[in-house]
Amino acid sequence: MMGPAHSLSGAAAWLGVGAATGAAGHPMPWPVLVVGALICAGAALAPDLDHKSATISRAFGPLSRGLCEVIDRISHATYQATRKAGDPRRSGGHRTLTHTWVWAMLIGGGASALAVTGGRWAVLGLLFVHMVLAVEGLLWRMARVSSDVLVWLLGATSAWILADILNKPGNGSDWLFTGAGQEYLWLGLPIVLGALVHDIGDALTVSGCPILWPIPIGRKRWYPLGPPRMMRFRAGSWIELKVLMPVFMLLGGVGGLGALGFL
């Protein structure tokens, strides 16, 4: 799928989680719901850091473009080192390592560890990166006609304001993990969810997605998981733009209302 659909699906997924936790008797504070949805929307773009034309690879200028090159090479090397006889030869790393459950867990766990050990500036950094990505994904039309600097300023301002809101008592810095020193440990959860939602979205396309790596399936370790071929679509096709994106918006709206107790 393309960046906007990935971001919408990520936001909708976190809002759905908010509705589920509310129905289970553990409602999210509204700042956690909002911040988590934005982080998840941004994180849903992150697996495409292995593709030089992806939104995330352009989002931070030379820094993200350089990181894209590194991730692509690491992904390709990992593919070559772990492929089985049934896996085809590849010349690049797109839709390999960063499109697996292992990668999702690694970046989510790393983000949680950074938030807990790095203090306020680490939290601000995580929020800034994901706010910029959320703007690029959810407001793609406006972001494309704006300069990168304006998008970065919006991301930095949003991160600062949201961090201050979360820091207030009862607003969710210690949501779910209430032990001493565990503030913001939950920040990794929307990042894991966003990456997995991205992978599931890509699994619906014609190429499929090797979500289950390194678990072998038949003669392949990088098995492109997905529905039957007749149910798949091409990225950017009318099904994605005219059907899936409106569905994600509807599900996100319903999830948000449920999470806030209106349903």
In the predicted structure, residue 211 carries a pLDDT above the cut 90: yes
CA gap 202, 2 in Å, rounded: 9
Helix-helix angle 101-138:30-43, to 10 degrees: 100
Condensed to tens digits (0 to 9), the pLDDT of residues 121-130 reads 999 999 999 9
pLDDT of residue 141: 61
> Which whole number is the average pLDDT over 245-250?
93
Three-state DSSP state, 220 = strand
In the predicted structure, residue 16 carries a pLDDT above the cut 90: yes
Model confidence at 142, pLDDT cuts 50, 70, 90, reads low
Quick one: how far is CA 222 from the chain centroid?
Answer: 21
pLDDT of residue 146: 63
* Minimum mean pLDDT range among 89-98, 157-166, 184-193, 207-216: 89-98
> Which whole number is the average pLDDT over 46-65?
88
